[in-house]
């Protein structure tokens, strides 16, 4: 088969194979959020409800920017409940610092300048952490996408809109999954 | 111990749009008429331009009977019922015409003959599955003289589009032919409604000023409308809004033959041994009164008409008055009038004043005014844009997803855009179905212990398809006028509504209708029913003028046939 | 700082609703000592009550103070002008809770207590002591219902209480000033409403025209009766001519 192709044809074929390859596995960690363990209160609605710090590594060379989605598949709905959508994170970033601002007028931290927040399931363009109905633990998937282009992504995209827009451009993907549970509490007077 | 009153010739139960009209021809004919109204009299001094009292607190100055009888609702027989916290209609002399929008449309000829016309033009298979629709037992031509009567007696402002076949684009060229023009020209337009009219014309549509039961100039010694912006759920401070309380009711009282009884809470209609109505029972201050009558006209609004019939059981009528064929409550529908479209413009519209009846209409997509050959529904909708807005309503505007609902970002958005938003009113063809009906709720009761009405109804496929199509047209219209964003509002549920039809449907067949072609019960010759509950289809417009024309016609029939019906 | 005079005045206040019912106060103000840190370290925009030394009809001083802090975030005073507190929205709510909205008084008692409890358990301090950003974050959680199930004691979803307060705050900011809000027409100025006119001309309705703002209440003339504006809707006989 290869004998029949011209040089140009070979180059196209290899390029196509590169795109068709499965995304590289990213390693996603956090100094305060441990995989498989309970999410600290301050990243939930039972605490200060600020976004947790995330770190990632292993993004392949073509990476130009990152996107992060946090969602909970344990809700009794057809789709997971989305807690955070954030994208246009610079390709040079190694992670997200804690407490990304909720005030639209406030600037993004310098390392992630230009990052844009999308619309979560709470209909707000900010991080809103776990607030599950009491009774069972829910899983929270912090998924990081490495994207091979600087895409024209408008502010306020939902998770579905974001994933549609980056389709075909995801060269790396990884996740950190942690859990949170609310206990049924006695009624306060 | 009930107090027995002196007999009257005719008792009218409810003095709203329908009952308030019927009183006049009956009294003018010399009959002795008593009108029983659960509410009280309200006057111009009660109608301050006060958004909190009118629109937020919903008329605390009125007797609250309807609010204590809110129907329960469920979309179908398998679903649980819910119950809204308030009723859209009110009690008072004049009923809800004390604050209604007063748009005043005739139905188009098609609305009277939907079955025949659909079969003729598209084939029987185009009638939606499950509909129980019948053609009306009268056509537009037969009702025309009564439309004319009500328009001239109460005062409707508008411009004819078809006088005896001669068309005029200043009016609605799709309307049925009328014998003469309106008694007054239409309400004036505004910069915004004129802009929308121009945009409609640029699309090749035929916009016109819609008709209103409101004085556009001084009429019958009442003031012209002052366009102050508190007409929506507001009473008129200058009596320019021609509800029955300022038109036909006082004229009926002036004959000396019509007596209004207020705070009369009707509980039942009694029949005699012959199966004819004999009296109406009511409570005032907890005391019971029995008002004998030779004839009774039931005009208490759709829900209460049905409820009183179902509650008025007797040996002759064990399942409710006039209900031997189980048709009371059947063929019910509430108008598909939700699903409006809201638009954001990049400039101020100056629509702080005006009223819902001050607007521009497009009827090109109503009824069968357009070819449905390649479409998957029958009927259509009226597109209506108007000028009016109040401050609390403005502050509750949609932000089109561009700002949150509170805080500094919200404040900045509203400061810029409060006068840049407009919401259209889209009334759509709605049909009766086997699955949509009214009955008595098995659990919920009013304060007297009587069951309230349960609504089992939902919009069906035909209504939903019309909704999408009409929203498409409305978005097209707004964008042609320069809107930069639109939002489509939900169609909603068939909960308690201001536009209700059926429940005591009118038709020739006594097995599928409660009243005959004159509005009198097939089973009880001296019981007539007035109101939208006799109507079998909705058309794409408000029911008020049509039910008033029918009420006048029923009253005329009673007068002409008094010997056989009343005695 | 709440003056002793205001405390006594508020403790002795009686509701002025048309029904004439005497208000029974669930907790006397004198029973609740002011927080020890009250005078010190307050956040930037602090409002003790709707305005200094104003008598309250339904809320306690502490409830009014917390409600004021919440309302200050819903429609803040900022570069776009004064906000809901300056417009007297809290005074409107307090007066309404003593009259037409009396059926919501329990919801306020319970909801305000839950907000305060939630602030302490989740944000580590009294609501009034949080920074504006933390207050907003907390209110978002109340608004979305995320605060429900936190053990704070909201009655049903916290979103219902948020919606109630928002609706009343909007009425108190943008409603006719006769009801105690929209002070100095702050609300009508914000949305650009040209004011209550009993007659509107064709010129007033042209595009590109801004009708001159008319700043008066619907009740500033003798044309309309004020009496029916504060009637108890549960009384079946009101509105009846004598």
**CA–CA separation, B417 vs B351, rounded Å?**
12
Please indicate whether, in this complex, the C-beta atoms of B409 and A104 are within 8 angstroms of each other.
yes
Whether residues C175 and B226 touch (CB distance < 8 A) is answered with no
pLDDT band (50, 70, 90) for residue C233: very low
Q: Please check whether residue C16 touches B, CB under 8 A.
A: no
Residues in chain A, total: 189
Percent of chain A with pLDDT over 70: 86
Residues of A in Cβ contact (< 8 Å) with C138: 49
Of residues C102 and C40, more confidently modeled: C102
Query: B82, B98 in Cβ contact below 8 A?
Result: no
pLDDT in tens, B504-540: 999 999 999 999 999 999 999 999 999 999 999 999 9
Cross-chain CB nearest to C233 (options B64, B391, B395): B64
- Please provide the average confidence, as pLDDT, over all residues in chain B: 97
Torsion-angle region of residue C24: left (phi > 0), alpha (psi -120 to 50) or beta? Answer: beta
Q: Does C137 touch chain A (CB under 8 A)?
A: yes
Q: Which chains touch A (3 or more CB pairs under 8 A)?
A: B, C
Which of C113, C114, C140 is best to mutate for the A interface (most A CBs within 10 A)? C140
ipTM field:
0.95
Beta bridge partners of A96: A54
pLDDT tens digits, residue range A132-170?
999 899 999 999 999 999 999 999 999 999 999 999 999
pLDDT above 70 coverage of chain B, percent: 100
Out of C136, C207, C232, name the one closest to residue B350 (CB).
C207
C126 touches A at CB < 8 Å: no
Q: Is A34 on the interface with B (CB under 8 A)?
A: no
Average confidence score pLDDT of chain C: 80
Q: Which chain C residues are closer than 8 Å to A189 by Cβ?
A: 153
Show the tokens assigned to A70.
């946090």
Q: Is the distance from CB of C144 to CB of C53 less than 8 angstroms? A: no
- Cα gap A48→C130, rounded to integer Å: 11
- Return the biggest CA–CA distance within chain A: 82
pLDDT score at A13: 64
At A8 the pLDDT is 64
User: Which residue of A lies nearest to B402 if distances are taken between CA atoms?
Assistant: A156
Q: What is the pLDDT of residue A19?
A: 54
Residues of chain A with Cβ-Cβ distance to B409 below 8 Å are 104
Whole-number Å distance between alpha carbons of C231 and C90: 21
pLDDT in tens, B138-178: 999 999 999 999 999 999 999 999 999 999 999 999 999 99
Q: Do C225 and B46 touch (CB under 8 A)?
A: yes
Rounded average pLDDT over B18-38: 98
8 Å CB contact of C144 and A124 = yes
CB–CB contact C190 B415 (8 Å): yes
Give CA–CA dist C235/C238, Å, rounded.
6
Q: Could you tell me which chain A residue has the CA closest to the CA of B404?
A: A124
* Residue A4 pLDDT > 70: no
Residues in C touching B41 (Cβ below 8 Å):
241
Mutate one of A46, A119, A181, A186 to test the C interface: name it (highest C CB count within 10 A).
A46
The separation between CA B423 and the C-alpha centre of its own chain, rounded to angstroms, equals: 20
Separation between Cα atoms, residue B153 and residue B348, nearest integer Å? 39
SS (H, E, C) chain C: CCCHHHHHHHHHCCCCCCCCCCCCCCCCHHHCCCCCCCCCCCCCCCCCCCCCCCCCCCCCHHHHHHHHHHHHHHCCCECCECCCCCCCHHHHHHHHHCCCCHHHHHHHHHHHHHHHHHHHHHHCCCHHHCCHHHHHHHHHHHHHCCCCCCCCCCCCCHHHHHHHHHHHHHHHHHCCHHHCCCHHHHHHHHHCCCCCCCCCCCHHHCCCCCCCCCCCCCCCCCCCCCHHHHCCCCCCCCCCCC
In this complex, do B49 and C207 lie within 8 Å of one another by their Cβ atoms? no
Locate the chain B residue with the closest alpha carbon to A104: B409
pLDDT of residue C142: 98
Contact C218 B353 (CB under 8 A): no
CA distance B254 to B236: 22
CB B408 within 8 A of CB B416: no
Q: Please answer yes or no on whether A104 and B401 come within 8 Å at the CB atom.
A: no
pLDDT at residue number B259:
98
Q: Which of C57, C79, C74, C2 has the alpha carbon at shortest distance from C33?
A: C2
C44 at interface of B, judged by CB pairs closer than 8 A:
no
Give the least confident one: A5-14, B35-44, C20-29, C149-158: C20-29
Q: Which residues of A touch B401 (CB under 8 A)?
A: 119, 156
pLDDT over 80 (residue C241): no
Q: Pick the range with the lowest mean pLDDT from B239-248, C4-13, C169-178.
A: C4-13
* Chain A interface test: which of B398, B404, B405 (most A C-beta within 10 Å): B404
Chains that touch B (3 or more CB pairs under 8 A): A, C
Inter-chain residue contact A102 with C136, CB threshold 8 Å: yes
C146 with A131: Cβ contact below 8 A? yes
Interface contact B391-C225, CB threshold 8 A: no
Nearest CA in chain A to B409: A104
pLDDT computed for residue A2 by the predictor: 47
Is the CB of C123 inside 8 Å of chain A's CB atoms?
Answer: yes
Q: Does A76 touch chain C (CB under 8 A)?
A: no
Q: What is the pLDDT of residue B502?
A: 98
pLDDT at C19 over 50: no
B514/B306 Cα distance (integer angstroms): 10
What digits encode the pLDDT tens for the residues B312-351? 999 999 999 999 999 999 999 999 999 999 999 999 999 9
Q: What is the pLDDT of residue C14?
A: 37
Question: In a 3-state reduction of DSSP, which class is residue B532?
Answer: helix
Q: Residue A64 has what pLDDT?
A: 96
Taking the CA of residue B475 and the nearest CA in chain C, the distance in Å comes to 21
For residue C29, what pLDDT is reported? 34
Q: How far apart are CA B233 and CA B58, in angstroms?
A: 8
pLDDT at A120 over 90: yes
pTM (two decimals): 0.90
Query: With 80 as the cut, is the pLDDT of residue C41 above it?
Result: no
What integer pLDDT is reported at residue C25 of this predicted model?
A: 35
Alpha carbon distance B350, B420 (integer Å): 8
Which one of A40, A49, A102 would you mutate to disrupt binding with C, by most C Cβ within 10 Å of its Cβ? A49
Q: Is the pLDDT of residue C40 over 80?
A: no
d(CA B217, CA B284): 40
Look at residue B489 and tell me whether its pLDDT is greater than 80.
yes
The residue among C27, C125, C151, C157 with the most chain A CBs within 10 A of its CB, best to mutate, is C151
B28 pLDDT exceeds 60? yes
Distance of CA B252 to the CA centre of its chain: 22
- A–C: how many Cβ contacts below 8 A? 62
Residue whose C-alpha is closest to residue C14's, from C28, C25, C1, C27: C25
DSSP state of B81: P
Residues of chain C found within 8 Å of residue A47, distances taken between Cβ atoms: 122-123
The residue among B328, B303, B278 whose CA lies nearest residue B452 is B303
What's the pLDDT tens digit per position in B426-463? 999 999 999 999 999 999 999 999 999 999 999 999 99
Across the interface, whether the CB atoms of B401 and A124 are under 8 A apart is answered no
Note the helical H segments in B337-450: 391-395, 408-417
Q: Is C133 on the interface with B (CB under 8 A)?
A: no
> By the CB < 8 Å criterion, does C17 face chain B?
no
Q: Chain A contacts of C124, Cβ < 8 Å? A: 48
Long-range residue pairs from C73-77, CB within 8 A, at least 24 positions apart, any chain: C73/B406, C73/B407, C73/C132, C73/C135, C73/C136, C73/C139, C74/B406, C74/B407, C74/C139, C74/C165, C74/C166, C74/C169, C75/B406, C75/B407, C75/B410, C75/B411, C75/C169, C75/C173, C76/B407, C76/B408, C76/B411, C76/C45, C76/C132, C77/C45
Q: What pLDDT is stored for residue C226 in this prediction?
A: 65
pLDDT on residue C12:
41
Q: Confirm or reject contact between A131 and chain C (CB < 8 A).
A: yes
Check the CA dihedral A85-A90-A95-A97 and report its sign. negative
Q: Is B404 in contact with A124 (Cβ distance < 8 A)? A: yes
In angstroms, the separation between the Cα of residue C208 and the nearest Cα of chain A is 32
C149/A134 touch (CB, cutoff 8 Å), yes or no: yes
CA separation for the pair C73, B185 (Å, rounded): 50
pLDDT at A104: 86
Q: How confident is the model at residue B124 (pLDDT cuts 50, 70, 90)?
A: very high
């Amino acid at each position: 088969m290869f004998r029949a192709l011209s040089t140009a044809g070979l180059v196209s074929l290899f390029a196509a194979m590169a795109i068709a390859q499965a995304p590289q596995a990213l390693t996603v960690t956090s100094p305060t959020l441990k995989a498989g363990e309970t999410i600290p209160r301050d990243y939930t609605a039972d605490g200060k409800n600020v976004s947790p710090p995330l770190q990632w590594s292993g993004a392949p060379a073509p990476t130009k920017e990152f996107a992060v989605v946090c969602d909970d598949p344990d809700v009794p709905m057809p789709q997971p409940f989305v807690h955070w959508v954030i994208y246009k994170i610079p390709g040079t970033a190694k992670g997200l610092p804690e407490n990304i601002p909720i005030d639209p007028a406030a600037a993004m931290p310098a390392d992630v300048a230009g990052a844009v927040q999308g619309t979560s399931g709470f209909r707000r363009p900010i991080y809103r952490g776990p607030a599950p109905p009491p009774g069972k633990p829910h899983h929270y998937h912090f998924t990081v996408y490495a994207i091979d282009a600087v895409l024209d992504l408008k502010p306020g995209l939902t998770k579905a809109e974001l994933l549609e827009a980056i389709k075909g451009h995801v060269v790396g993907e990884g996740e950190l999954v942690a859990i949170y549970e609310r206990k049924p509490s006695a009624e306060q007077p | 111990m009930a107090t027995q009153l002196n007999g009257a010739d005719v008792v009218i139960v409810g003095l709203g749009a329908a009952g308030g009209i019927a009183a006049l021809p009956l009294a003018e004919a010399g009959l002795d008429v008593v009108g029983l109204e659960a509410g009280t009299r309200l006057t111009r001094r009660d109608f301050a331009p006060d958004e909190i009292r009118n629109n937020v607190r919903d008329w605390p100055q009125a007797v609250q009977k309807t609010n204590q009888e809110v129907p329960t609702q469920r979309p179908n027989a398998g679903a649980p019922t819910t119950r809204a916290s308030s009723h859209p209609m009110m009690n008072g002399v004049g009923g809800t015409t004390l604050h209604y929008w007063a748009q005043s449309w005739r139905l188009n000829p098609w609305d009277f003959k939907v079955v025949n016309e659909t079969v003729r033009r598209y084939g029987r298979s185009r009638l939606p599955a499950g509909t129980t629709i019948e053609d009306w037992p009268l056509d537009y031509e037969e009702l025309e003289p009564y439309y004319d009567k009500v328009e001239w007696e109460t005062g409707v402002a508008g411009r004819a589009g078809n006088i005896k076949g001669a068309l005029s684009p200043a009016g609605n060229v799709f309307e049925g032919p009328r014998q003469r023009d309106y008694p007054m020209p239409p309400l004036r337009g505004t910069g915004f409604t004129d802009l929308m009219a121009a945009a409609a014309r640029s699309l090749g549509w035929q916009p016109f000023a819609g008709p209103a039961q409101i004085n556009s100039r001084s009429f019958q010694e009442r003031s012209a409308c002052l366009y102050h912006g508190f007409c929506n759920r507001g009473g008129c401070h200058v009596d320019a809004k021609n509800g029955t309380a300022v038109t036909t009711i006082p004229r009926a009282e002036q004959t000396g033959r019509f007596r209004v009884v207020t705070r009369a809470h009707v509980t039942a209609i009694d029949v005699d041994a012959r199966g004819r109505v004999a009296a109406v029972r009511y409570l005032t201050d907890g005391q019971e009164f029995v008002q004998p009558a030779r004839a009774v006209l039931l005009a208490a609004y759709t829900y209460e008409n049905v409820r009183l019939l179902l509650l008025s059981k007797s040996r002759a009528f064990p399942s409710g008055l006039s209900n031997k064929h189980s048709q009371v409550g059947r063929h019910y529908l509430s108008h598909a009038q939700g699903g409006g479209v809201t638009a954001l413009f990049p400039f101020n519209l100056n629509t702080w004043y005006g009223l819902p009846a001050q607007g521009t209409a497009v009827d090109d997509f109503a009824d069968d005014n357009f070819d449905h050959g390649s479409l998957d529904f029958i009927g259509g909708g009226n597109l209506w844009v108007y000028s009016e807005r109040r401050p609390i309503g403005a502050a509750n505007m949609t932000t089109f997803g561009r700002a949150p609902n509170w805080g500094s970002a919200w404040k900045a958005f509203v400061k810029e855009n409060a006068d840049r938003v407009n919401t259209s009113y889209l009334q759509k063809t709605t049909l009766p179905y086997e699955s949509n009906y009214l009955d008595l709720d098995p659990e919920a009761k009013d304060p007297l212990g009587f069951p309230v009405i349960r609504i089992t109804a939902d919009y069906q496929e035909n209504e939903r398809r019309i909704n999408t199509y009409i929203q498409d047209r409305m978005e097209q219209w707004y964008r042609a006028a320069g809107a930069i964003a639109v939002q489509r509002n939900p169609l909603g549920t068939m909960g308690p509504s201001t536009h209700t039809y059926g429940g005591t449907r009118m038709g020739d067949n006594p097995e599928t209708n409660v009243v005959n072609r004159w509005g009198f019960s097939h089973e009880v010759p001296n019981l007539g029913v007035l109101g939208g509950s006799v109507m079998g289809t909705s058309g794409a417009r408000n029911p008020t003028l049509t039910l008033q024309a029918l009420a006048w016609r029923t009253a005329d029939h009673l007068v002409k046939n008094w010997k056989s019906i009343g005695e | 700082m709440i003056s002793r005079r205001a405390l006594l005045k508020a403790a002795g206040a009686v509701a002025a609703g048309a029904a004439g019912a005497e208000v029974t106060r669930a907790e006397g103000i004198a029973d609740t000592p002011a927080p020890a840190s009250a005078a010190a370290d307050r956040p930037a925009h602090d409002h003790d009550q709707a305005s200094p030394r104003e008598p309250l009809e339904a809320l306690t001083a502490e409830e009014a103070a917390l409600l004021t802090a919440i309302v200050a975030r819903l429609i803040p005073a900022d570069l776009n002008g004064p906000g809901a507190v300056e417009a007297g929205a809290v005074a409107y709510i307090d007066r309404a809770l003593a009259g037409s909205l009396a059926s919501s008084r329990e919801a306020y008692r319970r909801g305000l207590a839950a907000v305060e409890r939630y602030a302490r358990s989740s944000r580590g301090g009294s609501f009034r002591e949080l920074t504006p950003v933390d207050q907003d974050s907390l209110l978002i959680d109340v608004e979305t219902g995320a605060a429900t199930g936190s053990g704070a004691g909201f009655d049903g979803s916290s979103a219902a209480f948020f919606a109630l307060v928002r609706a009343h705050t909007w009425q108190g900011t943008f409603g006719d000033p006769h009801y105690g809000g929209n002070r100095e027409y702050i609300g009508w100025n914000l949305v650009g409403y040209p004011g209550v006119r009993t007659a509107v001309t064709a010129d007033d309705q042209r595009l590109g025209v801004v009708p001159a703002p008319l700043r008066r209440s619907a009740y500033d003339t003798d044309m309309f009766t004020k009496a029916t504006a504060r009637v108890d809707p549960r009384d079946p006989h009101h509105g009846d001519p004598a």
